[in-house]
Structure 1
Amino acid sequence: MKKVIAALSLFILLGVASPQVFAQCDTEKYTEACIPKLPEGFTYLKSYKVDGDGGAKQKVEYSYVFTKGAQYMINVCTEGNGADGIVVTLYDSNRNKVASSLFNGQFLTALTYPCNTTGIYYITYTFEGSKANCGGSVLGFKR
């Protein structure tokens, strides 16, 4: 009985002493909000979950095959109107950085990229002072 009481006391103490509890990241809500933000002429391709797991992950990465001659747009949506410190960086198949949503110290909510070479591109999301480490993103294209 003493072991049960001690274990219960420890459980309660840890629960009360925990200074921060992270809410679940609802990426679906943010990706749904991002789709209509693609400008006219862009066709929706894919949604991406941007979940930094409450700060445990510093980077989330995806890949997609881009086609030469197409223009691509990547939007980021978070709680509110801004990017909340989420930076989108696009790398080509050789891992060379070709575009970023961090421009002159500003966190942009979208980036566009005119593709000159067909190949696999890597889309990374990093968290630079983000409050929630949570968002959604969509990829669109136009020819």
Structure 2
Amino acid sequence: MMKQLLWGIVFFVGLSSQSVFAQKCNMKQFKDKCVTALQRQRGYTFLKSYPLDGQGGVKKKIKYSYILSRGNTYLLTMANRRADAKGISVTITTSSGKTLLSSYDESKKKFHAVVGFKPKVTGIYYFTFEFQNTRNYCAASVLGFKR
């Protein structure tokens, strides 16, 4: 009886650890997709990658900041399990809170996996990534620039 109980506990712990492992966000594959998308755009140089782990839906928004320079053109690529990056968007704002752009087109209900922009002023900019209408809370983004 004791042996059966022990095996039952070992089996249950094994199943629990497998389900936790399956829920872990492996962003490397998505980062690689972002880098490939950046490389397709001629003349852009990789700057930074952003891991987007929504922790299974606990975090719907993830915010990062970066200092961008006037005169440079920037490209932000995003990737998740979907080929079109549906379900993940980014809103780019200035340090004063002014929205520059959003990768989600509300009128067409369309997600854009790549967005480009050229800041008018050197300063801190904020990237707010948001998971929208999705069950997939694992993604990545890459920022690149060209002069």
The TM-score, its normalising length taken from structure 1, stands at 0.83
Aligned to 1:68: 70
Whichever residue aligns with residue 76 of structure 1, its letter is: M
Whichever residue aligns with residue 37 of structure 2, its letter is: K
1:117 and 1:97 map into 2 onto residues whose CA distance is 14
Structure 1 runs not aligned, ≥5 long: none
1:40-69 per-position Cα deviation (integer Å, ceiling 9, x unaligned): 111110000011000000111110000001
Please list, as runs of the form range in 1=range in 2, the aligned pairs for 1:48-127 lying within 5 A after superposition: 48-103=50-105, 104-127=108-131
Aligned to 1:34: 34
Structure 2 runs not aligned, ≥5 long: none
Runs of 4+ in 1 over 3 A off after TM superposition: none
Aligned to 1:137: 141
2:139 and 2:114 map into 1 onto residues whose CA distance is 13
The size of the alignment, in residue pairs, is 133
CA RMSD of aligned residues (A): 2.4
1:98 and 1:80 map into 2 onto residues whose CA distance is 25
